[in-house]
Structure 1
Amino acid sequence: MRTQHQRARRTRRMIALPVAAAVMAGGLPARAAERTVELTSRGGYQSHRLPDGATDVELIQQTAGGCRFGRTWGFDLTNKELWVDGGCGGRFKITYAATGSGDSGSENASNSDSSSNVGAAVAAAAVIAGIALIASHKDKDKDRDDGWQDNDGGWQGRQIRGKGGLCMDIEGSVRQGRPLIVYGCNSGANQRFEWTRRGELRVGGMCLDVANGNPQDGARVIAYPCNGGANQRWRAWGGEIRSQDSGKCLDIENGRARPGTAVIMYRCNGGENQRWSW
Structure 2
Amino acid sequence: MKNPASRQKHAWLLCLPLLMSVQAAQAQEQLVDLQSNGGYTSYRLADDVTQVDLQEQTQGACRFNRTWGYDLTNRELWTNGGCGGRFKVTRSYAPGNNSGSSSNAGAAVAAVAAIAGIALLANHNRHDDDRRPEYPDYGYGDRGGEIRAGGGLCLDVRGGKFQPGTTLQVYECNSTASQRFSVGRGGEIRVRDLCVDVDRGDPRDGARVVLWSCSGSRSQSWSTRGGQIVSQLNGKCLDVEEGRLRQGAHTMLWSCNRGPSQRWWW
Please report the TM-score for the alignment, with normalisation by the length of structure 2: 0.51
The equivalent residue for 1:4 is: none
Q: Counterparts of 2:43 and 2:14 in 1: how far apart (Å)?
A: 30
The equivalent residue for 1:182 is: 169
The equivalent residue for 2:38 is: 43
Which amino acid letter does the alignment assign opposite residue 240 of structure 2? D
- 2:180 is the counterpart of 1:192: yes
The equivalent residue for 2:51 is: 56
Which amino acid letter does the alignment assign opposite residue 156 of structure 2? M
Q: Counterparts of 1:166 and 1:44 in 2: how far apart (Å)?
A: 18
1:218 positional shift: 2.0
The equivalent residue for 2:224 is: 233
Label 1:201 to 1:64 Cα distance change in 2 as closer, same or farther (>3 A).
farther
The equivalent residue for 2:123 is: none
Q: Counterparts of 2:217 and 2:26 in 1: how far apart (Å)?
A: 31
The equivalent residue for 1:65 is: 60
1:59 positional shift: 0.9
The equivalent residue for 1:145 is: none
Picking from 214, 220, 240, the partner of 1:251 is 240
Label 1:50 to 1:250 Cα distance change in 2 as closer, same or farther (>3 A).
same
After superposition, residues 89-128 of structure 1 pair within 5 angstroms as 89-98=84-93, 102=94, 108=95, 110=97, 112=99, 121=109
The equivalent residue for 1:263 is: 251
Q: Which ranges in structure 2 are unaligned for 5 or more consecutive residues? A: 1-11, 117-130, 133-137
1:51 positional shift: 2.7
Alpha carbons 1:162, 1:168 under 8 Å: kept: no
Alpha carbons 2:182, 2:191 under 8 Å: kept: no
Alpha carbons 1:235, 1:243 under 8 Å: kept: no
Q: Which ranges in structure 1 are unaligned for 5 or more consecutive residues? A: 1-14, 103-107, 129-133, 136-140, 142-147
Which amino acid letter does the alignment assign opposite residue 60 of structure 1? Q
How many matched pairs?
220
1:264 positional shift: 1.2
SS of match in other structure, 2:73:
coil
Picking from 144, 148, 156, the partner of 1:168 is 156
1:61 positional shift: 0.8
Q: Counterparts of 1:80 and 1:209 in 2: how far apart (Å)?
A: 28
Q: What is the aligned-residue RMSD (CA, Å)?
A: 6.0
The equivalent residue for 2:127 is: none
Q: Counterparts of 1:74 and 1:23 in 2: how far apart (Å)?
A: 26
Alpha carbons 2:236, 2:254 under 8 Å: kept: no
Deviations for 1:127-173, whole angstroms, at most 9, x for unmatched residues?
99xxxxx99xxxxx9xxxxxx886xxx4551364799x885129865
Q: Counterparts of 1:254 and 1:41 in 2: how far apart (Å)?
A: 21
SS of match in other structure, 2:39:
coil
The equivalent residue for 1:7 is: none
Label 1:16 to 1:215 Cα distance change in 2 as closer, same or farther (>3 A).
farther
Alpha carbons 2:238, 2:251 under 8 Å: kept: no
Q: Counterparts of 1:110 and 1:207 in 2: how far apart (Å)?
A: 50
SS of match in other structure, 1:86:
coil
Q: Counterparts of 1:17 and 1:109 in 2: how far apart (Å)?
A: 32
Which amino acid letter does the alignment assign opposite residue 233 of structure 1? T
Alpha carbons 2:32, 2:87 under 8 Å: kept: yes
1:216 positional shift: 3.2
Alpha carbons 1:207, 1:226 under 8 Å: kept: no
The equivalent residue for 2:128 is: none
Label 1:112 to 1:48 Cα distance change in 2 as closer, same or farther (>3 A).
farther
